[in-house]
Each structure stands twice: as structure tokens, then as C-alpha cells.
Chain A
Amino acid sequence: MNKYMERIYNGIWKENPIFVQMIGLCPTLAVTTSAINGVGMGLSTTVVLVLANILIAALRKIIPDSVRLPAEIVVVASFVTIVDMLMEGFTPDLYESLGIYIPLIVVNCIILGRAEAYAMKNNAVLSAFDGIGMGIGFTIALILIGAFRELIGAGMIFGVQIMPASYVPVSIFILAPGAFFILAILTAVQNKLKMPSATNGSVKKKKKAGGCSGDCLSCAGHDAAKAE
């Protein structure tokens, strides 16, 4: 496996942003009412992630260390604005159903986290592959959560009826509480199988500057709680 494929494998499996690192939970829970929404959110985040990684990696020697974070935020916000406008023009239905969560890609921990942890230290090509890997990993996780919620909550996957007609959908699962329950169950399964995950402490916690660039559940919040 060469180093480019290794990056992709890393993003999809070894350091999957949702299941292993538990970052970027806001869009994960909010938009996964159906599998197709998961695809839309995952792909738009991937596009932003790849483009931002490339540009930040290309500019990494020019950006002074002291204004690193604001510079990264401007780069990310610009690409998010472009994606936002493109989606409004070409996929109006998806744009409508994802709503405010498209501009909120800016504050998605995954993107700033990758910029900080990877793109600032590596060249543009490697960073692009890193972005693709992380993006695909994120998309797969969203589709998985969305598919479960759609299956239990509406008896369908991608709008195709799966459950027999006699199945009564548990509609709570496509409402807000269902998102919490599905993620709880998926992380519980990971705990049970002792798979690597930030939730059971088997992933080494990295301490980094910038609020959320580590994993969400043990991010600066926990340090703040300890400081009390």
C-alpha cells in the first residue's frame, strides 16, 4: 500500500472521524434523517475538506504561525460559501432539506481539525488524499446512521420500501431523539466489540490548540472540567 492509499484507508477505517474520533457530531445528528441527506452532507463536506486541505497545504509556508487559525477559518469559510452557492443553484431540494447546516460546515471540527493536524504539516497532494479519505469516512458514517434511522423510522432506505407493508414505522427515530439513540447504540456496539473509539478511551487523546481539533467528547471541555 503506497502512502497515498494509506491516507485513504486511514480516513475511512483507522481514524474514521465519526466512529473513532467522534468529531463533527452536530451535522451527524442533525441531517441524518434519511440516507440521501447523509450522502448530500457527506459529499459537500468532502468537497470543502479536500479543497481546504489543498489550499492550506499549499500556503502552509506562507501563513505566519501567529495568524494560523484565522487564516484557516477564512480559507474554509470561502470554500463553504462556494459550495453553498453551487448547491443552491444545482440541487435546490437538497439545499432546502440541509438548510442551515450547509453554512455550518465552517465550524465542523473535522475540517479545522484536519487543517491543523495534517494540512499544515504535509504537501498539497498528500493533504488532498487525506481530505478524500476523511471525507469518504465521514460520508460512510453519515449514510450508515441515516440508513438506520430511515429504516426504523420510515421502513425505507434511499426512499425504497424495505420493510414489509405490515411494519409500523417508529417515527421517533426520524425525529430528534432518534439521532441520539442510534448514535448511542452504534457506540455501544463499538464498546462491546472493543473497537477503537474515543468513547472507550482506547484512542490516544491528542492535545492540540484550537478548541475542537482533538476529539469532541474529550476536547477542551474535559480539561476545563478538570481545571475546576
Chain B
Amino acid sequence: MKELLVIAISSALVSNVVLSQFLGICSFVGVSKKVETAAGMGGAVIFVITIASIVASLIYDFILGPLGLDYLNTIVFILVIAALVQLVEMFLHKCMVSLYNALGVYLPLITTNCAVLGVALTNVQSGYGFVQSVINGVGTAIGYTIAIILLAGIREHTEGNDIPYSFQGSPIVLVTAGLMAIAFFGFSGLL
């Protein structure tokens, strides 16, 4: 139990997926203009990463691992994730329309979000079992959501600020993200 807690905290806060591993920077910078949209993206990422880490872990434990096909990890995982996102989108569209309306726009973006493939590969490389993989996946996704919502909140507040011309647009966002990354260093004392 303690081990699982450590995995969850370290993946969500200490080695935050965006601010210390740089996975998913595109959407982190691109979809963080408003808290509302950032929360939507975060929800979609939690949803997809959780399912993807479950499926990738099962595939590795029962097919790739026993057959010694480790070198196929990258190819298999990326295809599974791409197919999975399509399936999830179709399923939500048919069966859970309200959830689809909330997450719909963000789902296709997630295939190219390297955080999803990153989690699946980290799980295998660190030798995590099924439960640990899922916990790591959920923790990572929650870390992503925390980071993107925080950034969106800061951006909403700094929108009206008088920013020097050269720093307008993405430079100021990157500076903000850098300061957040410094703040997140504080969490390394947690473990």
C-alpha cells in the first residue's frame, strides 16, 4: 500500500509529467488559455491515460512479455493508443453523449500527446505490475491536470498585464511554466 502511495505522489507531484518530464508540452501551452478548457483537457487526459495504461499493461503482461517481444513495445503501444482513442470517442459518442460533449473536442488531440505513450513506456521500463501501472497512469494524468489548470489560472490573471512586446505570446507562457517548475521542485522534499 505504501509503495502505491509513493508511486502516486511521485508521478503526480514530484516528477510532474509536464513540468519535470516535458511530456505533453504542446497541449500544455496550447489549451491553457482558459481554466474551463484546461479542465476539459485535463479530464480527457485522465480518462485516456487511465484506460491506455490498463490496456498497455495487460498487453505487455500477457502477450509481449511472455513471448519475449519487448522490442515491439513502441510500435504496439502507439497503435493501441491510436486505436483506443478512436474507440473511446466512438463509444462516448454512442453511449454517453453528455460526457462526449464535454470531452469530445479534446479526444483526437490526445493521440499525439506524448504523455500517453510516455506513461505506457515508463510502466514497462520500471517493471511495474498491473496495479502499479494503473496507479502510475492515474497519478501522471492527475499531475498533468493540476499543472494545466494552474497555468490556465495564472494566464487568466496575467492576461491584462502590461507585458513587454518581445515577451508577448508564447515567451511569457514559457517563463510562467518555468516558474511553476521551480515551485514544483518544492515537492521533492515529500519523498
Whether A191 contacts B175 by the Cβ 8 Å rule is: no
Our pick among A85, A109, A200, A224 for the contact of B31 (Cβ within 8 Å) is A224
Given A179-B22, A188-B171, A192-B166: A216 in contact with B30 (beta carbons within 8 A): yes
Given A210-B112, A216-B26: A30 in contact with B21 (beta carbons within 8 A): yes
Our pick among A74, A80, A185, A221 for the contact of B27 (Cβ within 8 Å) is A221
A72 to chain B, nearest CB (A): 11
Could you tell me which residues of chain A, from 70 to 88, have a CB within 8 Å of some CB in chain B?
70, 73-74, 77-78, 80-81, 84-85
Binds A, one of B53-61, B72-80, B91-99: B72-80
Given A103-B73, A180-B177, A216-B29: A30 in contact with B22 (beta carbons within 8 A): yes
Tell me if B117 counts as interface (CB < 8 A to partner A): yes
Tell me if B161 counts as interface (CB < 8 A to partner A): no
Whether B30 contacts A177 by the Cβ 8 Å rule is: no
Binds B, one of A21-29, A126-134, A159-167: A21-29
Binds A, one of B3-11, B103-111, B134-142: B103-111
Which residues of chain A have C-beta atoms less than 8 A from B37's C-beta? 224-225, 228
Tell me if A94 counts as interface (CB < 8 A to partner B): no
Which residues of chain B have C-beta atoms less than 8 A from A30's C-beta? 21-23
Given A211-B111, A212-B112, A224-B31: A73 in contact with B178 (beta carbons within 8 A): no
Interface of B (DSSP majority class)? helix
Which residues of chain B have C-beta atoms less than 8 A from A199's C-beta? 169-171
Interface string of A189-211 (1 = CB under 8 A from B): 10110000001110000000011
Task: Count chain B residues whose beta carbon lies closer than 8 angstroms to a beta carbon of A.
Answer: 55
A140 to B165, CA, bound (A): 27
27 contacts between A and B (CB under 8 A): A30-B21, A77-B74, A100-B122, A107-B78, A107-B113, A112-B112, A172-B182, A175-B185, A176-B20, A177-B182, A178-B178, A179-B178, A180-B178, A181-B175, A184-B172, A188-B167, A191-B171, A199-B170, A210-B112, A216-B25, A219-B30, A220-B109, A221-B29, A224-B41, A224-B109, A225-B30, A228-B40
Whether A217 contacts B121 by the Cβ 8 Å rule is: no
Whether B23 contacts A192 by the Cβ 8 Å rule is: no
Whether B74 contacts A81 by the Cβ 8 Å rule is: yes
Task: Count chain A residues whose beta carbon lies closer than 8 angstroms to a beta carbon of B.
Answer: 57
Tell me if A187 counts as interface (CB < 8 A to partner B): yes
A176 to chain B, nearest CB (A): 5
A80 to B125, CA, bound (A): 17
Tell me if A141 counts as interface (CB < 8 A to partner B): no
A106 to B26, CA, bound (A): 15
A27 to B68, CA, bound (A): 29
Whether A217 contacts B171 by the Cβ 8 Å rule is: no
Whether B112 contacts A228 by the Cβ 8 Å rule is: no
Whether B118 contacts A192 by the Cβ 8 Å rule is: no
Whether B112 contacts A103 by the Cβ 8 Å rule is: no
A219 to B170, CA, bound (A): 13
Tell me if A123 counts as interface (CB < 8 A to partner B): no
Tell me if A222 counts as interface (CB < 8 A to partner B): yes
Tell me if B82 counts as interface (CB < 8 A to partner A): yes
Which residues of chain A have C-beta atoms less than 8 A from B118's C-beta? 100, 104
Our pick among B36, B168, B179 for the contact of A177 (Cβ within 8 Å) is B179
Which residues of chain B have C-beta atoms less than 8 A from A69's C-beta? 82
A197 to B33, CA, bound (A): 20
Tell me if A218 counts as interface (CB < 8 A to partner B): yes
Whether A184 contacts B36 by the Cβ 8 Å rule is: no
Interface string of A85-97 (1 = CB under 8 A from B): 1000000000000
Which residues of chain A have C-beta atoms less than 8 A from B78's C-beta? 73, 77, 106-107
Residue of A nearest to B117 (CB): A107
Our pick among B19, B22, B106 for the contact of A224 (Cβ within 8 Å) is B106
Interface string of A49-85 (1 = CB under 8 A from B): 0000000000000000000011001100110110011
Which residues of chain A have C-beta atoms less than 8 A from B82's C-beta? 69-70, 73
